[in-house]
């Protein structure tokens, strides 16, 4: 074994020597070009720097997709779905979760009031037939979840088709007003068309669809999708596994543009350490706490559109690795 390794080592040495000699020859011949090339690259760097250090490095989540303004009247549309991986919904569980939803929305309304915003969040509970929940089997899908699925792209691939199928089934329970123009033509086959139908039926521009599954005892994460700019007007939605008002408020705020402020890979420019030091009890940073102990920081307030600009100190927290443009 020893000899074998040694042989490979001397062989590698031989190759390295050959490569170095060859590189040296090239360097001598083309040194002027290389110097000029390097100068050009650094000049471009200086040139570029003036233009790239802009706000566009802050994620684009404000006023995008269908849930645009967290102001005036908005709807939280709750769909309770029985899934195979969790217990089916009982009347008691649903009643408790409904209370939590009302508690969470009241908490957000109070925070809006403090920012001089008029906000009414209307919780609307989906009913189909005589029941408050329906089985995912009716939509012919099975939700697969586990605590390790933290990457949103991967989660979406797994949960997107589930949500679309469930939305399609829920769409059968939506009754249009007879005067509805959209409703007569609209075929509900995914979350987006369900959202469109609901906006038409409820006559409200901003409808936040949240699918609730009874996973309270499993301690699995909840998810929100299409919360950033999605190219077209994709409908945002959440799949909520918890009945803690803080979790519900956290996911609901995502749908209106709030971003996660706990350390994660999606926003490498965020200074998570300082964000935590400044806003330890931020709703987008911690969820598994009593909602009454939590707050909405200027950062979240900016993302959900309650303030038009973000001051320099907070902007700096979001552009950790970039210098700020002069303004």
Binding residues vs Zn ion (CB under 5 A): 260
> 132 with 197: CB under 8 angstroms?
no
Rounded to whole angstroms, the Cα distance separating 156 from 257 reads 18
Longest dimension (CA), the chain: 88
Q: Which residue number has the CB closest to Zn ion?
A: 260
Nearer to Zn ion (CB atom), residue 164 or residue 260: 260
The answer to whether 215 touches 85, Cβ cutoff 8 Å, is yes
Alpha-carbon torsion 80, 85, 90, 92, what sign?
negative
- In the complex, minimum distance from the CB of residue 303 to Zn ion, in angstroms, rounded to a whole number: 12
Q: In the complex, what is the shortest distance from the CB of residue 278 to Zn ion, in angstroms, rounded to a whole number?
A: 18
* Closest distance of CB 257 from Zn ion, Å: 12
C-alpha to C-alpha distance for 63 and 228, rounded to whole angstroms: 9
Tokens of residue 207, six digits: 């409808």
CB of 254 to Zn ion, least distance (A): 5
Q: Which is nearer to Zn ion, 98 or 286 (CB)?
A: 286
Based on CB atoms, which residue is closest to Zn ion, 139 or 294?
A: 294
Closer residue to Zn ion (CB): 119 or 246: 246
* Token code pair at residue 5: 């390794």
Q: How far is the CB of 70 from Zn ion (least distance, A)?
A: 16
Do the beta carbons of residue 105 and residue 143 sit within 8 Å?
no
206 or 260: CB nearest Zn ion: 260
């Amino acid at each position: 074994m020893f000899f074998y390794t040694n042989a490979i080592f001397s062989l590698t040495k031989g190759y390295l020597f050959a490569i170095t000699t060859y590189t040296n020859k090239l360097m001598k011949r083309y040194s002027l070009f290389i110097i000029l090339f390097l100068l050009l690259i650094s000049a471009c760097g200086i040139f570029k720097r003036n233009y790239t250090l802009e706000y566009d490095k802050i994620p684009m989540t404000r006023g995008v997709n269908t849930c645009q303004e967290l102001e005036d009247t908005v709807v939280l549309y709750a769909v309770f779905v029985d899934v195979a991986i969790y217990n089916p919904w009982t009347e008691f569980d649903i009643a408790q979760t409904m209370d939590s939803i009302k508690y969470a929305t009241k908490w957000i309304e109070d925070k809006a009031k403090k920012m001089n915003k008029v906000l009414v969040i209307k919780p609307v509970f989906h009913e189909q037939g005589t029941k408050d929940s329906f089985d995912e089997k009716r939509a012919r899908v099975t939700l697969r979840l586990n605590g390790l699925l933290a990457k949103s792209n991967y989660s979406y691939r797994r949960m997107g088709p589930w949500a679309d199928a469930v939305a399609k089934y829920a769409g059968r329970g939506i009754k249009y007003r007879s005067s509805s123009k959209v409703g007569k033509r609209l075929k509900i086959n995914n979350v987006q068309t369900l959202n469109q139908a609901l906006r038409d039926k409820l006559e409200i521009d901003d409808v936040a669809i949240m699918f609730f599954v009874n996973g309270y005892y499993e301690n699995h994460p909840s998810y929100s999708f299409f919360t950033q700019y999605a190219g077209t007007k994709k409908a945002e939605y959440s799949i909520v596994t918890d009945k803690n008002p803080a979790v519900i408020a956290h996911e609901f705020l995502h749908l209106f543009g709030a971003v996660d402020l706990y350390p994660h890979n999606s926003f490498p420019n965020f200074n998570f350490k300082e964000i935590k030091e400044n806003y330890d009890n931020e709703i987008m940073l911690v969820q598994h706490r009593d909602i009454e102990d939590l707050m909405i920081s200027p950062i979240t307030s900016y993302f959900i559109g309650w303030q038009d600009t973000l001051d320099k100190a907070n902007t700096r927290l979001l552009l950790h690795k970039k210098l700020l443009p002069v303004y």
